[in-house]
A and B are shown apart, each in its own frame.
Chain A
């Protein structure tokens, strides 16, 4: 009994060791590519490194964290990042669920609509930003022209509220296809018997969706929320192209703040401190994702 149990374990251990040996070069390469920038970034965050200094780099401890992370500017940017993340994901889930439910019914032309809805996913964020900055141009943009039919004249980039709404809308528009795609896959894989038996038992549309379908989709929704949270939190391109963080600092989020420190002020140590702080904020979400997907 003992022997029969011990043998497979030893076998497993041997094959596992061999597998590890063969995987080692790839793993080392992966670790160096992933960890080296992180460690370098953390190191720079503790120095006075700057692109515009010819002085040797010195260790300054937590000075950059004190001057650039634990500040109201960082707090404001964090608030912007959280707002973009929260509102874009909430609206993506609501709209995505409705669209996925419609597409889940096998109707004529479904594949065409799926293709159309997926189009924004094919565009790069910079292209999205460029396209929408032209559409939203308050003098000659198509949105202004459309507004004229209903007697509106809103300059979306001139106030903090509307500029933020525009950014959230673009984030929503650009990544909605991903949410629809994942929810559609989830809905199509739900056990039909449970839904049918609930219907037979007299569950109405609301009960069916709120008490049966959505709870069954919870793992799928959780994965969407986690993946999209990390991405929306790191959003940069659209802000860079559409608002440059304006008006004032109204749409400066954390990645944009790090960008400014690195490429406007040329201060690599301050940019590194902000980036390390971003990683520290995003990391727990990522670990939750790993735990949920059991990778």
Chain B
């Protein structure tokens, strides 16, 4: 009996000891590891390339969790709702800053950026800081910067004697000449999940807006917004049919496969359209320029990948060390050479600029666009607003609804969203 009790005690002590040692080992390991949550993109490929160097320098192991792009936001929000500390560094789409911020998912990474000599925050333009900011807090730093710009076919422009358009009227004129010559004149997507983005940028190019930022009253029926939407709808006739029902990717595919003169799209597509293997027909025929504008306004939306730190991470310091290492001044060239699109930071050395010119020859256009770039509306209702505007514009482009009825519907739908959230009275 005594022996039995004694052996039971021994077993118990052994189990407890093993458990304690295991938990200590787990803690020790956790302190030397960070998890980086990314989606497949040239930016995340570059981040992955930075891992070994970071581990060699700091001894901190970097694990990468790669998820499909469409799943990023849902997975992050669900993890956040359960206060999960699994992910330390998180990549996210700039248009989801509001959702992630409203849910309290992100650490205020801006404070670390400002305090870091290695990151050199002063070299990040104000507009780029703004697109990672929500209610005064910088929750993301730029991983890639992708404003909308004009893409055009140099060969077709030269053949038809077209000039690079400065205004949307000139763009439409070029589109007509292309159309008359047997080409597609434009490839601005009108799809039910895409139209609001580029046509929204056009609205801002005209000096218009979706709604008044102070009163939340929808302004699709303002003269500037209506003119921009009218211009977009007037270009439908010369747009490839697939692009009328499609999104940004479909527009890119149209540029790759069909003879399309010009389009408004994000700089981020350069890795696809500028690549000889992916776009053998057009990679050397495309040129990029500032997006057309009207009414003296050059305002456009700024998109791109942001990166930040999980609010519930237990490795915030190590997570920042990784960001500082990957995106700081020392490794600017290494990061670009690893295939990353430019983050938008201001470079200073000739060698850095040379690398950038090779990786992203459109940098000058991008920098120019960045000067006039604004983030997508920072209101919690933005995802619902973009959905109803997408669908309203798509219905107009596919003639499901008349132009006037479409404008009225856009206003009514957006107003209904603000009424539901209590920002407007019904």
A211 to B257, CA, bound (A): 56
A53 to B102, CA, bound (A): 6
Query: How far apart are B249's CB and chain A's nearest CB, in angstroms?
Result: 12
Contact A158 B387, CB 8 Å, known A244-B193, A246-B394, A248-B401:
no
In the bound complex, residues from chain B placing their C-beta under 8 Å from that of A245 are: 192, 391
Contacting B at CB under 8 A, from A257-286, are 260, 263-266
Stretch at the interface among A78-86, A103-111, A132-140, A212-220: A132-140
Is B240's beta carbon under 8 Å from chain A?
yes
Is A200's beta carbon under 8 Å from chain B?
no
Contacting A at CB under 8 A, from B343-384, are 380, 383-384
Is A148's beta carbon under 8 Å from chain B?
no
In the bound complex, residues from chain A placing their C-beta under 8 Å from that of B30 are: none
Is B62's beta carbon under 8 Å from chain A?
no
The reply to whether B420 and A67 form a contact with Cβ atoms under 8 Å apart is yes
The reply to whether A139 and B258 form a contact with Cβ atoms under 8 Å apart is yes
The reply to whether A52 and B103 form a contact with Cβ atoms under 8 Å apart is yes
Pick from B74, B104, B394 the residue with the most CB of A within 10 Å: B394
Contacting B at CB under 8 A, from A228-249, are 243-249
Is B77's beta carbon under 8 Å from chain A?
yes
Query: How far apart are A83's CB and chain B's nearest CB, in angstroms?
Result: 16
Query: In this complex, what residue of B is CB-closest to A260?
Result: B387
In the bound complex, residues from chain B placing their C-beta under 8 Å from that of A67 are: 420
Query: How far apart are B353's CB and chain A's nearest CB, in angstroms?
Result: 39
Q: Mark B227-243, 1 if CB is under 8 A from A, else 0.
A: 00000000000001110
The reply to whether A249 and B391 form a contact with Cβ atoms under 8 Å apart is yes
Contact A263 B74, CB 8 Å, known A54-B104, A248-B394, A248-B400:
yes
The reply to whether A159 and B400 form a contact with Cβ atoms under 8 Å apart is yes
In the bound complex, residues from chain B placing their C-beta under 8 Å from that of A140 are: 242, 257-258
The reply to whether B241 and A54 form a contact with Cβ atoms under 8 Å apart is no
A146 to B103, CA, bound (A): 50
Query: In this complex, what residue of B is CB-closest to A159?
Result: B398
Is A51's beta carbon under 8 Å from chain B?
yes
Query: How far apart are A49's CB and chain B's nearest CB, in angstroms?
Result: 9
Chain B, interface residues (CB within 8 Å), range: 35 or more
Chain A, interface residues (CB within 8 Å), range: 20 to 34
Query: How far apart are A161's CB and chain B's nearest CB, in angstroms?
Result: 10
The reply to whether A155 and B245 form a contact with Cβ atoms under 8 Å apart is yes
Is B392's beta carbon under 8 Å from chain A?
yes
Is A195's beta carbon under 8 Å from chain B?
no
The answer, among B74, B98, B245, for a CB contact under 8 Å with A246, is: B245
The reply to whether B244 and A158 form a contact with Cβ atoms under 8 Å apart is yes
A140 to B383, CA, bound (A): 32
A160 to B241, CA, bound (A): 15
In the bound complex, residues from chain B placing their C-beta under 8 Å from that of A139 are: 240-242, 254, 257-258
Is A187's beta carbon under 8 Å from chain B?
no
In the bound complex, residues from chain A placing their C-beta under 8 Å from that of B17 are: none
Contact A265 B258, CB 8 Å, known A139-B242, A159-B400, A244-B193:
no
Contact A52 B245, CB 8 Å, known A139-B254, A248-B401:
no
Is A77's beta carbon under 8 Å from chain B?
no
In the bound complex, residues from chain B placing their C-beta under 8 Å from that of A160 are: 400
Contacting A at CB under 8 A, from B367-426, are 380, 383-384, 387, 391-392, 394-395, 397-401, 420
Q: Mark A31-48, 1 if CB is under 8 A from B, else 0.
A: 000000000000000000
The reply to whether A137 and B242 form a contact with Cβ atoms under 8 Å apart is yes
The reply to whether A51 and B81 form a contact with Cβ atoms under 8 Å apart is yes
The answer, among A137, A248, A265, for a CB contact under 8 Å with B392, is: A248
Is B341's beta carbon under 8 Å from chain A?
no
Known: A244-B192, A246-B191, A247-B398. 20 other contacts (CB 8 A): A52-B380, A54-B102, A137-B242, A138-B241, A139-B258, A140-B258, A155-B241, A157-B245, A158-B244, A160-B400, A245-B192, A246-B192, A246-B398, A247-B245, A247-B395, A248-B398, A248-B400, A264-B384, A265-B384, A266-B73
23 contacts between A and B (CB under 8 A): A51-B99, A52-B99, A53-B103, A67-B420, A138-B240, A138-B245, A139-B240, A140-B242, A140-B257, A140-B258, A157-B245, A243-B192, A245-B192, A246-B391, A247-B394, A247-B400, A248-B192, A248-B392, A248-B395, A248-B400, A249-B391, A249-B395, A250-B400
B residues contacting A by CB (< 8 A) are 73-74, 77-78, 81, 98-100, 102-104, 191-193, 240-242, 244-245, 254, 257-258, 380, 383-384, 387, 391-392, 394-395, 397-401, 420
Q: Which 6 A-B pairs have the closest CB atoms?
A: A246-B192, A248-B395, A138-B241, A54-B104, A247-B398, A51-B77
